[in-house]
Structure 1
Amino acid sequence: MALLMLSLHALLIWGENSHLHTALLLCHYGVFLLWQPVMRQSDKLSWKMVGIVLIGAYLTTFLTNWWVTAFWIAGLFSLIGGRILSSEATHSKVPNILAASYLLAILLLWVVPKLLNADNDLLAAELLLVYVLPILPLTILFLSAKNISLTYTQNIDFFYTLLIFLLTIIVILSSFAIGVVWQIHYVKLLIFTVFGLATTLVAISWLWNPSATFSGLELLMSRYLLSIGLPFEQWIRKIAAFAEHETSAEGFLQASMRELVALNWVSGVSWRSENIHQEIGEPTRFISTFSFHQLHLTLYSRWQFTPAMYLHVQLLTQILGEFYEAKRREETISQNAYMQSLYETGSRLTHDIKNILQSLGTLSAAAEQSNHAADDARLVDLIKKQLPRLSQRLASTLNKLEEPGVEKKNQAKVSHWWKSFKQINAHQQVQFEAPTNLPKTDIDPDVLDSVVDNLIQNALEKAKLETNISINVAIMPSNHFCIEVTDTGSAVPDEVADKLFKTHVSSKSGLGVGLYHAAQQAEHAGYALSLIDNIDGEVRFRLEKVH
């Protein structure tokens, strides 16, 4: 870059009326080819590119005047100025700032006066321009004497480069126009031009984002960039409306595709998702393909998309794909929820039937233990009382199976339920306790039978594995119903206790869902099941009415 500036300086100062003009021009052109940021120095040149380079060298020897020179310097200034604005490292900006300063100074103080034939206005500064100004590119030589990786190439910011080029051209043309029309001193002309441009830029920067109450040109520019051929907000609203009103993912996709084909630059569209392939509109030879998750989209346009248009269409179709994927996930979640409800209903009914079978097993055990006539009489009396109750519980379970969404609640007195419950579990190794005055509140006998039976059976299973365990079932003295089931066995492990009543727990002797569904059943009936004591020798479960 330093050699580029020095060769340009030699060409402008000493090459105008010299036999070295062509040599200096070709030297400057060659150094530019070594510096130019478009092609890497390690790239191999094709014959086409070699021809372009040679044609450019041939034309530079003929197209040499001050207007061409002004536009050439403006181009170099924009390339370097774009690097200054887009560069991140501070140390890499210093050489570019020096080079840009040199180019701007030589343009405004040497080239533009040549266009206006105003050389006499700057005679006092000619010595500085000829001998002092080259210090800037000479300084770049020392600043750039560092080992830089050959693979490192600075990116060209097209927007900044184009903006700086246009501003430089405005300065050149406005200086020329004002100088021709007003015929004033060049220094005064330059002041008018520079300050006028600065005022304009300050006004534009204020209008870009003036205040919180007025969005300014920034929002308008963003809307324009996002609305190539279609208002972006309108597309978002339509897609969101389709997603809200369409119940299925495929219905949403078809509605969105019809809306996409309605655009004036779209001729047809075909899409494929899983095993479904559909097409709307007419195919053309201009094809663009997009893929998002499980959606593969082929869009037929009426003309070839420009890069900006392609990015815009990609954004629109990506939004469509994300909404479609959200609808598919919604369908999957709905299906999973349905299957989960079926599973929980089946598990709960299995749990109820298991409790009924356990009660029948208790009656069978009582029948086996009957050895005397008196025992037989009590057994017959027990069976007469319990079979209708078990039949009622079985009928209630079958009703739940036929109508899983309907929960019928039965009501009974605590004293009646407690007497019947002690009779059916009289042959178990269970102790029963109750206060003299039982609570007067009504209870749901089906829920209590199911939940308390489950707690007792769990304690009995533990008694088979551990010796000298006593099981106690007690109604607590309180105004509301509260019953506790306590055993003197080992404590429930902490990792299991944390999951009780919240999720399914693995069980060696059961389905592993008993306490979970018991807690769910109790909660639906207005009861709360909890583990209030969990230590070795005292494991206490409590079931109480909360509302």
Structure 2
Amino acid sequence: MPAFPRHVSRKNEYRILSAMLLLLHLAVWWDFGSSKSRSLLLAHAGVFLIWQPFWRLEKRFGLKDTVLFSLVSIGLACWIFFCWFVVLIGLMSGFPGYRRSGRLVYMPILFFLVSDLLIGCVPHIFHVKALPPAVTTMFQYGLLAVPAWVFIVRPHPGGGASLYSVDLLRAISASMMTGMLAVASIAITYHLGVDYPVALFQSLLGLALFLFIISWLLSPRMGFIGLAQLWERSLMNIGTPFEQWLAELAKLADQQQSPEQFFEVSFN
């Protein structure tokens, strides 16, 4: 596959991102799961490869990458939509929003992706009753304002997505919470026999309550300083059992003369 010049992503980053979101939105709402929908998703993946901030844009894809991409494209299924939405939500939430222009772009994008996943994608995948037609129509056409907004916003000079470092912890947390929210809504729907909108509302309340309790426990004003320190130590990996275990292994490696002795002592 040919390489793309680096200035394409820098100069037109938000325009490419807007096209990527528009294609994904059409893939969800235009005959979901059909050949047209999969073609739009494939086009969305191509635009994503232009926009993505991980690989250098000068990198050329070899035969192995092309074959792998083709196999994934041939085997596209409805579950691909769900997994891809979860990955994109984590990616967008992982960008550090230290600039106001970045927050004005990526916060609406997160709302866009979560809404498309929970309202347009999940009901089709799990075959549950969707939201009322008036609500789905409002989201179907109203969410088009997000790609339009991203298209007209001018990126900050030198602040392209390719220069960003993704916050891995934030990305994983956002992906897990979104996936758990969708799965919990479906589980409540089938287990309690309620409609999906009711189950989604209950799951949202449960997630909001969970986040409120966690933020309350970690707040220094509440007096739970030990929990905050434990959280910081786990993030920085200072004084955790895993680090202590590695330190003990390092000491044993310095004391033993041969790999066989180190292997025997480390298991005793």
Question: Structure 2 length normalisation: TM-score?
Answer: 0.78
Which residue of structure 2 aligns with residue 92 of structure 1?
Answer: 102
Aligned partner of residue 121 in structure 1, secondary structure: coil
Quick one: higher RCO (CA 8 Å, sep 6+), 1 or 2?
Answer: 2
Which residue of structure 1 aligns with residue 118 of structure 2?
Answer: 108
Q: 1:212 to 1:106 in 2, by over 3 A?
A: closer
Match of 2:36 among 11, 15, 20: 20
Give the residue type in structure 2 aligned to 1:268: A
User: Offset of 1:116 from its aligned partner?
Assistant: 4.0
Which residue of structure 1 aligns with residue 253 of structure 2?
Answer: 268
More strand per residue: 1
Which residue of structure 1 aligns with residue 12 of structure 2?
Answer: none
Q: Distance in 1 between matches of 2:209 and 2:160?
A: 42
User: Offset of 1:89 from its aligned partner?
Assistant: 0.8
Q: Would you say the 8 A contact 1:207–1:216 is kept in 2?
A: no
Which residue of structure 2 aligns with residue 62 of structure 1?
Answer: 75
Q: Would you say the 8 A contact 1:268–1:281 is kept in 2?
A: yes
Q: RMSD of the alignment, in Å?
A: 2.9
- Structure 1's unaligned 5+ residue stretches are 233-259, 270-279, 286-300, 303-547
Per-residue deviation, residues 274-295 of structure 1 (Å, max 9, x unmatched): xxxxxx432559xxxxxxxxxx
Q: Distance in 2 between matches of 1:25 and 1:190?
A: 25
Question: Structure 1 length normalisation: TM-score?
Answer: 0.41
Superposition map of 1:332-481 within 5 A = none
Q: Compare CA radii of gyration and give the structure with the larger one.
A: 1
Q: 1:16 to 1:55 in 2, by over 3 A?
A: same
User: Offset of 1:161 from its aligned partner?
Assistant: 0.4
1:186 aligns with 2:186: no
User: Offset of 1:206 from its aligned partner?
Assistant: 1.5
User: Offset of 1:221 from its aligned partner?
Assistant: 2.9
1:81 aligns with 2:96: no
Q: Distance in 1 between matches of 2:242 and 2:50?
A: 44
User: Offset of 1:128 from its aligned partner?
Assistant: 1.6
More helix per residue: 2
Q: Distance in 1 between matches of 2:32 and 2:223?
A: 57
Q: Would you say the 8 A contact 1:5–1:137 is kept in 2?
A: yes
Q: Distance in 1 between matches of 2:82 and 2:176?
A: 13
Give the residue type in structure 2 aligned to 1:135: A
Q: 1:127 to 1:218 in 2, by over 3 A?
A: same
Per-residue deviation, residues 157-184 of structure 1 (Å, max 9, x unmatched): 1111011111111101101100111121
Q: Would you say the 8 A contact 1:79–1:156 is kept in 2?
A: yes
Per-residue deviation, residues 108-145 of structure 1 (Å, max 9, x unmatched): 11112223433453212232233221111111000136
Q: Distance in 1 between matches of 2:69 and 2:243?
A: 44
Q: Distance in 2 between matches of 1:74 and 1:160?
A: 13
Per-residue deviation, residues 387-431 of structure 1 (Å, max 9, x unmatched): xxxxxxxxxxxxxxxxxxxxxxxxxxxxxxxxxxxxxxxxxxxxx
Which residue of structure 2 aligns with residue 41 of structure 1?
Answer: 57
Aligned partner of residue 253 in structure 2, secondary structure: strand
- Structure 2's unaligned 5+ residue stretches are 1-16, 264-268
Q: Would you say the 8 A contact 2:185–2:203 is kept in 1?
A: yes
Give the residue type in structure 2 aligned to 1:74: V
Q: Distance in 1 between matches of 2:243 and 2:193?
A: 49
Q: Distance in 2 between matches of 1:17 and 1:201?
A: 34
